[in-house]
Amino acid sequence: MIYLDNAATTRPCPAALDAMRTALEDAWGNPSALYRPGQQARKLVEDARRTVARVLHAARPAEITFTSGGTESDVQALYTGAALGAAAGKRHIISTQIEHHAVLHPMQQLEAQGFEVTYLQPDETGFVSVETLKAALRPDTILVSIMMVNNESGAVMPIAEMVRATRRLAPLALFHTDAVQGFLKVPFKAKTLGADLISISGHKVHGPKGVGALYIKPGLPLPAFIHGGGQEGNFRSGTENVPGICGFSAAVAATDAAADIAKMARLRDLARELLPEVPGLVLIGAQEAPHIVNLSLPGVRSQGIINCLQSEGIFVSAGSACSKGHRSHVLEAMKLAPAVIDGSVRVSFSAENEEQDVYALREALWKAKQTLKG
């Protein structure tokens, strides 16, 4: 099997599996309990918080709130940030047309509640510029949410510059970035990036599904998102997912980010060199992220390509794996031709992939083109 859909999910690494097994078998107590089994679980959660904070380069472990994944982290950031703005009488929000649906759908809900949302348009490569953001910022802007890395085009946004522009032109606005595709793929430090809120996910970095985190900059008076027992600093109540949190932190700790990024970038560059040898194949988007390559065979349907590759033991996706049955809103926002969009396929690498996977992909795409064109 050649798995090339790592932007959708990754194989849990051995360290993550071992940590989850330990938590399930040896530290199964409720981490809010004061007796020994509960405190054993609590220690694992707090050790994990320190690990994620260290790798994310947060100033303090308390800045990390564990969640059920990237989607919840996004929703927490957007709803609590908007609530803070509404309390101050400001209701203008900025995002982009190419966000993950975990951001776009909550934005639609906020619009229904009376917020005004400006959606920035990317260029033909999927990139959103600082100048585009500057033109949209207003004195009543209370929240900006722009993803760090686009999950389809591989475009990498200049988040640090965008944060600085926001501070100058809308000083009261909070800045959130969905870094689910950026964490351990694009180097950044939370404490110097400047963003107020950063979303990350476990299963994109060889951890388990069902766990993620939200970085919250110190001093933000965010209202509680989930009320109840007061867990996670009284921001996100509910008994913590101890095995998931342990698996997440173990995967993070086991990652050699610099080496992995370099390897994925080599595979991406090899793909960009080899795949255009397939007749009619075109590459799509900026492809700046080290792990994402988007390609198209115009005139051939994506699902047909995916089926042909699957028959060769190669697994890829058409756009975001989280939204099926619809034409890609990202590629539409990039103003690509319908035939290009309909024939698009996303390839995404991890450090587990090797060069021979790229060569096999080229041969399988060549065969798919011949088969599907009849």
Question: Rounded distance, CA 146 to CA 49, Å?
Answer: 25
Q: Domains of the chain, with CATH numbers? A: 14-254 (3.40.640.10), 257-372 (3.90.1150.10)
Residue 82 pLDDT greater than 70, yes or no:
yes
The verdict on whether 308 is a catalytic residue reads: no
The mean pLDDT of 22-48, rounded to a whole number, is 95
Phi, psi of 193 (to 5 degrees): -60, -40
Write out the two tokens for 185. 């793929």
Quote the pLDDT of residue 322.
47
Quote the pLDDT of residue 321.
47
pLDDT one-digit tens code per residue, 296-326 = 999 999 999 999 999 999 999 986 444 455 7
Residue 218 pLDDT greater than 80, yes or no:
yes
**Would you say 190 and 215 are in contact if contact means Cβ atoms under 8 Å apart?**
yes
Residue 18 pLDDT greater than 60, yes or no:
yes
3-state helix, strand, coil in the chain (%, to 5): 45, 15, 40
The mean pLDDT of 332-346, rounded to a whole number, is 97
pTM recorded for the entire structure: 0.96
Quote the pLDDT of residue 239.
94
**Would you say 4 and 223 are in contact if contact means Cβ atoms under 8 Å apart?**
no
Residue 369 pLDDT greater than 50, yes or no:
yes
Catalytic residue among 13, 246, 308, 322: 322
How confident is the prediction for the chain on average, in pLDDT?
95
pLDDT one-digit tens code per residue, 160-190 = 999 999 999 999 999 999 999 999 999 999 9
Nearest-CA neighbor of 125 among 368, 358, 288? Answer: 288
Burial 34-49 (b: 16+ CB within 10 A, else e): eeeebebbbebbeebb
Quote the pLDDT of residue 319.
65
Q: What angle do CA 45, 249, 36 make, to 5 degrees?
A: 25
